[in-house]
Amino acid sequence: MKRTALLTLVALAISLSVPFALAQESSAPTTEPQAAPARQQGSSVTADSNAKQGRAMLDKMIATLGGQAYLAYQTRADVGRNYGFYKGEPNSVGTPFWRFYKYPDKDRVELTKQRDVTQIIVGDKGYEKTFKGVAAMEPEQLDGFLRRRSHSLEVVLREWLKDPATQVFFEGTGLASQQMVNNVTLISKDNDAVTISIDQISWLPVKRTFEYRDPVDKLKDVEDETYANYRMVQGIMTAYTISRSHNSMMTSQRFLSEVHYNVEIPDSQFDATITFDPYKRSGPRK
């Protein structure tokens, strides 16, 4: 009788303890919801640290280029020779040129020894002047020039970088023109991106890269511009060799012999009025 009563009490205790244990297990707090904010905070700290690192590299590069002297120059005059390439191979013996640039959007390039071919770009308009007169620059040629100008180092470092909406990322190290570089990418408020490769020893820019969609086939194209043979000119470190590539294939190379900053360039040098249409027949065919 006593044994039966004892077994009954044990069974009753077990039946009471099981719901109590289950209740404790279900009410035990989980740590997963608290872990997520910690990860998010760590990610934010990492991104902020990365941005600061990228900006510090750009600041050091700008200081090496000449600091305020580089950021503040308003005009520039170059003399040199330009070589064109086709499918990565040179296709000319080189064309002498004289270039006159006025920040932010005026450009004049005089070509040939006689300087009898002149290209003028003012704002988003382009003109070509020859012995026949002044014609509008070919749309494809003008689009390429405007695209390069909007992604130039002058525009990126003077305008993009000072915009609070611009994002900066340190992309890590790499190799450019056989030099070890730090790659820093800037993304503008318009979601446009430029990557600058900075030499790890000299802290000068080695390459500038950007991507865009071809207006015809809508495929992604990559434009590179590399800088070499730096010399100090009026307190500004200046690249005397500039090479351009399209989808990793060389398109042109410029070798400078003279560079002058803050020279007097009258606005009249950029005046142009279209006088003829090269695609319009002058008269009926005979």
What does the pLDDT read at residue 89? 78
Whole-structure pTM value: 0.81
**Rounded to whole angstroms, how far apart are CA atoms 225 and 221?**
14
Cβ density class 225-236: b for 16+ within 10 Å, e for less: bbbeebeebeeb
> Given 3-state DSSP classes, what are the helix, strand and coil percentages for the chain, each rounded to the nearest 5?
30, 40, 30
What does the pLDDT read at residue 27? 37
What does the pLDDT read at residue 43? 63
Cβ density class 117-137: b for 16+ within 10 Å, e for less: ebbbbbeeebbbbeeeebbbb
What does the pLDDT read at residue 88? 75
What does the pLDDT read at residue 92? 76
Consecutive 10-residue averages of pLDDT for the chain (286 residues): 40 40 37 34 73 97 98 98 85 91 97 96 97 95 96 97 96 96 97 98 98 91 98 98 96 97 97 91 53
What does the pLDDT read at residue 37? 35
Which residue(s) pair with 199 in the sheet?
181
What does the pLDDT read at residue 14? 39
